[in-house]
A and B are shown apart, each in its own frame.
Chain A
Amino acid sequence: MMSTHDKVTDDTTDFGFERVKTGEKAGRVREVFDSVAARYDVMNDLMSGGMHRLWKRFTIELSAVRPGQTVLDIAGGTGDLAAKFSKLVGADGHVVLADINSAMLSVGRDRLIDKGALSNISVVQADAQYLPFEDNSIDCITIAFGLRNVTDKNKALASMHRVLKPGGRLLVLEFSKPVSPLLSKIYDTYSFSALPVMGKIITDDSDSYRYLAESIRKHPDQDTLLNMVEDAGFVDCRYHNMTGGIVAVHRGIKG
């Protein structure tokens, strides 16, 4: 069964709650991250109360990455995951930090230099929908809080499937649907009123954070995304809810 979610049917797609021309979404998303890049890490901590560190930590555990492997962190932004993977794969392994946005990548590169982690990491500007890597070349791909920004998610999943080695694993960490209605309500109130205000104060940009809140709501829920991952050809697919389903990590293996 094909999932209908996120099919780019006519020539428009979602940008938060707006509809924009399919060709325009990438540019609009870029503006958002250009605007927040410098303060991105501070906002991440503030917005999630530090929780994003735990979500990422569990995702890295699920990756089961071993020394010597090749890992791609796509939509890797400022390089949180890449830095951790760099240590796990060791000198014989390799990590690619990739993102469509050069402003995010340059903040990421600076941070990795500060951490002295660049020796086994390459930084590549790339679009998740058209990954510039060879077929069957990567052991593990992670995409953290990135998939919802991609114009055609199915295309991106297919592209990730293509570059993974057989037996390789994909992990998608993304905001999802809280399991309890109460939590869902509190969370909505938080993301639609508090987030833009915090964004305004810290980055002087409430629109970008309104987009973030809206894009979270627009993102497919756990089971829909699970279907999408399966449709892209992955096997052994499953997901783990975290923090009551505010966030979920989906896993798929290339058969």
Chain B
Amino acid sequence: MQHDPAVIAGVCLVAEAAIARAIALSPGTAPQLAQLHPVELAIACTNPTIDVFLVINGDGEINVSSYRETEPTVCISGSSSAFLKVASASDPAAALINGNIKITGDTAVLMTLQNVLSDLNIDWEAPMVDLLGPIVGHQLANLIRGLTTASKVAHQSARRQLSEFILEEGRLSPPRAELDDFLGSVDDMVLRVDRAESRLKRLKNRVDLLSGASA
């Protein structure tokens, strides 16, 4: 399925703003990132097909975009469910290596980047509320929080860096309760979409009626 570029642009905008905020709150991160410039990380998700690129600029900012023509420094690719597994794993670094995710290009850069970013506390809510308004924005933020923060808090002590992991042996992380939570909120969302759809149908009837009357 082809996604609407405007929607993807919205997702990128939100991600970029959330990451920028987190970087601003974590002194030291920007200079570390600036040293990585001009690294580009491509995240290629299949099924649904979404490509997202994280581009590090000379000021240590991360631009998030959906379209690039340059060769990325490193590319991680896999299905959406493989990415979901990584996001919800107790040990994302391990899941990244062991899961069905393919890493091509400069793996060392990926490790450094993961090191720098793993301490960031990313708050998705504020930029999402900015973009989508309080109601939808808040719900979406909750959904993402269910995915990331819960596992992060629960496993802070156990969290390992990707670089450490490569030195040690890998192990596949078990599916987590957070995933169930997440799927629960997805069901919730589906219900809401159904409701919106019937509202749209009613609206269409009204429009038809109106245009019939004015014709």
Contacts and interface: CB of A to CB of B under 8 A. Distances in A.
A189 B207 contact: yes
A119 to B, nearest CB: 15
Interface string A28-57: 000000000000000000000011011101
B44 to A, nearest CB: 16
A51 B6 contact: yes
B12 interface: yes
Given A240-B5, A242-B4, A242-B6, A58 B67 contact: yes
B42 to A, nearest CB: 14
B64 to A, nearest CB: 10
Interface in A177-236: 182, 185-186, 189
Given A50-B131, A53-B13, A64-B69, A58 B6 contact: yes
A55 B9 CA distance: 8
A51 B9 CA distance: 10
A189 B210 contact: yes
Interface in B171-215: 203-204, 207-208, 210-211
A29 to B, nearest CB: 27
Main secondary structure of the interface of A (DSSP, over half): helix
Contacts of A64: 67-70
Given A50-B131, A189-B207, A61 B13 contact: no
B13 A54 contact: yes
A111 to B, nearest CB: 19
B10 interface: yes
B66 A61 contact: yes
Contacts of B10: 54
B206 to A, nearest CB: 10
Contacts of B151: none
Contacts of B203: 186
Given A62-B67, A64-B69, A243-B4, A54 B9 contact: yes
Give the interface residue-count category, chain B: 20 to 34
A64 B211 CA distance: 43
Nearest to B16: A57
Interface string B1-34: 0001111111011000000000000000000000
A57 B9 contact: yes
Interface string B119-150: 00000000000010000000000000000000
A244 interface: yes
Contact of A58 (B9, B70, B204): B9
A62 B6 CA distance: 12
Given A50-B131, A54-B13, A189-B210, A242 B204 contact: no
B65 interface: yes
B62 to A, nearest CB: 14
A46 to B, nearest CB: 13
Contacts of A247: 6
A96 B5 CA distance: 26
Nearest to A245: B4
Contact of B207 (A50, A61, A185, A241): A185
Complex A-B, nearest 8 residue pairs according to Cβ-Cβ distance, in ascending order = A61-B67, A242-B6, A54-B9, A58-B9, A54-B6, A57-B9, A64-B69, A58-B5
23 contacts: A50-B131, A54-B6, A54-B9, A54-B10, A54-B13, A55-B6, A57-B13, A58-B5, A58-B6, A61-B9, A61-B65, A61-B66, A61-B68, A64-B67, A185-B208, A185-B211, A186-B203, A186-B207, A189-B207, A189-B210, A189-B211, A244-B4, A249-B5
Interface of A: 50-51, 53-55, 57-58, 61-62, 64, 182, 185-186, 189, 240-244, 247, 249
